[in-house]
Structures are given as structure tokens and as C-alpha cells.
Amino acid sequence: MPLSQFDPERYFEFLSEKESRMATLFTPFTIKKPDVFASPKTHFRYRAEFRIWHEGDDFDFVIFPKGQNKSPIKLKDFPIACLQINQLMPKLKASIEKIDILKRKLFQVEFLTTLTGDALVSLIYHKKLDDEWQNKARTLASDLGIQLIGRSRKQKIVIESDAVVETLTVAGESYCYRQTEGGFTQPNPYINQSMLTWASKQLTHSNGDLIELYCGNGNFTLPLAKHFDRVVATEISKTSIYNAKWNCEKNTVDNISFLRLSSEEFTAAMKKEREFRRIKDAQIDLDDFNLTTILVDPPRAGLDNDTLSLVSCFDHIVYISCNPTTLVENLVTLTKTHEVSRWAIFDQFPYTDHIETGVFLKRK
């Protein structure tokens, strides 16, 4: 996000512009107004990464304007990042500057924090990390009360843990989530809670079973599972599946079956075009499920044609989108068989053009 666009006094003006833009895009599909969920104006981002700019014995956290890799903007603080990241930045800088082996050839710093106060910092280097680095890093982590990871080419050194545990409140209930360094997590937990609560509200009176594609670490899966008899959730990432299962156990949710399959593979399995050992090994018979509802949270490319065809077969569809362009393209097909019951705008990334959208569709 260009800092030049950061203007808390104009936040709701920017949000209104997003709402107007999306209302125009949705005109062919519904005349209903969206539910609009605003972000905090500042300190809303709990994940951040910065390049390191060295000058003599000093270094600074920097960001670069788009396409200007030789024009760093030095940062003393970062107002879109949470207070914990802003508090850690000067402490980390002051500590590292005193220790040459931690400072030398440091290239990038990444922060992953939570509403509950956990913090994981990744230090990324252009050098091999040795035992001396590890000893100094362990002391640094202890002094700052953080978990720490060192990375360089073909190296990953974990001090204590490579994950944090977040706690989110959804419709009055708390859920904890293991979030791994390098894995996908929603960067704005306030809007994430709004997304989960909104989706849960749409499915309150559901019946039958739920299928979820692109489930990640179970972000939506856990709070939605209580509305269904059983849930099948798919995800291609091994790390995400591991975290999703950990999260289920931690939250004592026992009606979810996870499958490590891409959306294309699951579509082929549902259409009986292919058999997958991963489904057999999980002892899951898809024919035994009464799959009435599907939730999809696809990447920016949206749904491919085969998956889109599969999604159209369900009575109820919850579509979470990070790209209005591909969402609208998919809605052209989906609204041939379904109608938009409710839709929402989630301002995940204030002061940018990015818009996160939720759509709940019912069969006509």
C-alpha cells in the first residue's frame, strides 16, 4: 500500500467509493444493497514484511514505491500495522544493530502477530547461518519475548516454533487457529472475524452436509461446521491441511473430513472421472454425504470452468472473492441457476483498490 494513500480522515470516503464501484458491478445480478464491513482506520494489519536498507553501521526498515527499487522509503513506524509490530520495529532494530552477526547481510524482516499477543519474526539473510548466529538469535528472541526464524538460501532455523496461535471471535464464540510462518493467513483479523460471522449467519438454518474448496487452515471451516451434519474440506497445501487438523482438534470440532486435493482434483472425483488414493486412504466415500451447500474462497483467478460447473450443482453457494473481476465473470454463469440472496463488502485492505466480497446464492 503506498503510504501516500494513507489518510484516516478520509477512510469512509474511500470505503464509500469501493461500495459504489461494487454496486455498479453487481447491477446485472441484484438490486440488493451489500452488507458493508469497515476496518479499523489504523493498526489493522497483523502481518507485514520490510526490506532492510544498510548505510554504514546503521540499517532501516524500508518499503519501495512500485517500480522504484532504488528509492527506499525509510520507516520509523508503520501506521497500518498493528501496535505490536510498531512497538517491535524499534526494539528489534536497536537490538540487531548492536550484534554484527545478526545485522550483517540481513536482507528482509517479516512479522506475523495475533490479536492475542503472539509474535513471530523472520530474519532473512544473504549468507549462511551458523551456530554463533543461532546462539545470538536465541538470546534476541528471549529478550524481546518473540518467536524467531532465520532464513537464508536452503536454510531455515527455527527458534522455539515456526507458528503462532490466533484466537478469533465468531458470532460470540471463540476459535483458535495455528498460523504458520510462510503460510496464508488473513492479514486483517478484524475483517476476518466479520467475514466468518457473516458467512456463519447466512448458513444458520442449513441442513445436510457442506463441502468447502480452498479451505486453507480451516479459517471458515471451523465456525461453519456447527451448522451441518458433516463437512468435507479440501486444500492442496500440506502445511495448511496439517494446521487445519490441528485447529480441529484444538477446538474439539469432530465432524470435518479434510482432503489434500486441488479444486480440479475434487471436481474430477465428484464427477467420477478419476479415483484418488488420498480419498480412499482417508476412508471417505463421497456418495455417503448429503452435500447441499458449497463454500469457495478461490485465488484471484476465480473458479475454472469445471469447478464452476460443479459449484452450480449445489442448492446453496457461499462465494468469498478477493477479485471482483473474476467474481463477476463467475456470477454470469452461477446466476443462470441461482439468485443472489445476500452479498457483502469486506474492507480487508483499506486505502487500496482491493475489495474482498462475499456472495450467498440460492438455487432458483
Residues 255-283 have pLDDT tens digits of: 999 999 998 999 998 888 888 888 988 88
Cβ contact 111:144 at 8 Å: no
Amino acid 318: pLDDT: 98
Please say if 356 is a catalytic residue.
yes
Residues 29-64 have pLDDT tens digits of: 999 999 999 999 999 999 999 999 998 888 999 998
C-alpha cell at 58: 546503521
Q: What is the dihedral of CA 110, 151, 216, 296, to 10 degrees?
A: 70
- Return all residues near 143 (Cβ < 8 A) that are at least 6 apart: 95
Amino acid 334: pLDDT: 97
Cα–Cα dist 177/218, whole Å: 8
Amino acid 4: pLDDT: 60
Q: Return the HEC string of the chain.
A: CCHHHCCHHHHHHHHHHHHHHHHHHHCCCCCCCCEEECCCCCCCECEEEEEEEEECCEEEEEECCCCCCCCCEEECCCCCECHHHHHHHHHHHHHHHCCHHHHCCEEEEEEEECCCCCEEEEEEECCCCCHHHHHHHHHHHHHHCCEEEEEECCEEEEECCCEEEEEEEECCEEEEEEEECCCCCCCCHHHHHHHHHHHHHHCCCCCCEEEEECCCCCCCHHHHHHHCCCEEEECCCHHHHHHHHHHHHHCCCCCEEEECCCHHHHHHHHCCCCCCHHHHHCCCCHHHCCEEEEEECCCCCCCCHHHHHHHCCCCEEEEEECCHHHHHHHHHHHCCCEEEEEEEEECCCCCCCCCEEEEEEEEC
Biggest CA–CA distance in the chain, Å, is 67
Which one has a higher pLDDT value, 271 or 254?
A: 254
Examine the pLDDT at 345 and tell me if it is beyond 90.
yes
Residues 64-89 have pLDDT tens digits of: 877 777 778 899 889 999 999 999 99
Phi, psi of 317 (to 5 degrees): -130, 130
Cβ contact 163:178 at 8 Å: yes
- Residue 45's Cβ-side half-sphere holds a number of Cα atoms within 13 Å equal to 16
Cα–Cα dist 245/257, whole Å: 9
- Least Cα distance to 159 among 179, 177, 145 occurs for 145
- Return all residues near 175 (Cβ < 8 A) that are at least 6 apart: 167, 168, 169, 222, 223, 247, 251
Examine the pLDDT at 1 and tell me if it is beyond 70.
no
Amino acid 76: pLDDT: 87
Residues in the chain: 364
Cα–Cα dist 298/300, whole Å: 7
Cβ contact 95:144 at 8 Å: yes
Q: Which of 181, 235, 265, 356 is catalytic?
A: 356
Residues 143-193 have pLDDT tens digits of: 999 999 999 999 999 998 999 999 999 999 999 999 999 888 899 999 999
Please say if 215 is a catalytic residue.
no
Q: Which of 248, 249, 322, 339 is catalytic?
A: 322
Percent of the chain with pLDDT over 70: 99
* Domains recognised in the chain with CATH numbers: 3-41+187-363 (3.40.50.150), 47-164 (2.40.50.1070)
Residues 93-115 have pLDDT tens digits of: 999 999 999 999 999 999 999 99
Amino acid 3: pLDDT: 57
Which one has a higher pLDDT value, 274 or 117?
A: 117
Examine the pLDDT at 131 and tell me if it is beyond 90.
yes
